[in-house]
Amino acid sequence: MLAAMVTQKFATVHVIEHPLIRARLTRLRSNATGTAEFRANLHQIAKLMIFDVLRDCATRETAVETPVSMTVGAELMRPVILVPILRAGLGMVHSMLEIVPEAQVGMVGMQRNETTFEPETYYNRMPSSLGEADVVIVDPMLATGNSVVCAATALKSQGAQRLRFLNLVSCPEGIQHMAKAHPDIRIFTAAIDDGLNDQAYIVPGLGDAGDRYFGTT
């Protein structure tokens, strides 16, 4: 119900629906799920989602000679760049590379400035093809949206033109922030949860994705 209202209001949001994703996400949410199972389920969801995120990537025709005859096939027109936001986004990249092994990987690290409370970039390294590529920013959680808004602004200033954002769990506050700041960026998510608590955790959410993935709880 909430998801339907949010997707109706914000045209940039796309909820990737699949029974396997719902089942794996339930395992991620469970407080009883330990690190190994959390990682395995996150990897599987990332693989399932990247298909849809890249579904409309442009292709061009290319001739190919099979053992039997010539035929016409397709190749991607643009490079694909995955940009995990450190640290939790890292957990999704390796499994996505199994699906798109030719993808390049940029990385952006964001942290909160404890004086201004604004997000700041502490690490940014991008492939030189950024301007021509289909770029997918990756972060499991879209909470306040501060990090991804800041990351997307930085990537655009570096020349990125075709950006998408993949996350697992989002909430209305983060979607609104991102849709307002970057209305050109489509948001792909597996779930739209109720909202944020007073500590900026998504409710019901899954807790701290980075801590649970890296076992730092």
Site of interaction with ligand URA (CB under 6 A): 88, 141, 143, 201-202, 205, 208-210
Task: Using the minimum distance from each CB to ligand URA, give the nearer residue, 103 or 142.
Answer: 142
The torsion of the CA quartet 18, 58, 153, 173, rounded to 10 degrees, works out to: -20
Report which DSSP code applies to 58: -
Task: Using the minimum distance from each CB to ligand URA, give the nearer residue, 95 or 146.
Answer: 146
Residues labelled as active-site residues:
112, 116, 208, 211
Report which DSSP code applies to 12: T
Residues near 34 by beta carbon (within 8 Å), at least 6 away in sequence: none
Task: Using the minimum distance from each CB to ligand URA, give the nearer residue, 103 or 166.
Answer: 166
Residues near 1 by beta carbon (within 8 Å), at least 6 away in sequence: none
Task: Using the minimum distance from each CB to ligand URA, give the nearer residue, 93 or 103.
Answer: 93
Helix ranges (DSSP H) in the chain: 2-9, 19-29, 35-53, 90-99, 146-157, 172-181, 209-214
Residues near 216 by beta carbon (within 8 Å), at least 6 away in sequence: 210
Task: Using the minimum distance from each CB to ligand URA, give the nearer residue, 59 or 217.
Answer: 217
Q: Are 104 and 132 in contact (CB under 8 A)?
A: no
| Amino acid identity at 14 | H
Both tokens of 188, joined, read: 């792909």
HSE on the CB side for 98, CA within 13 Å?
10
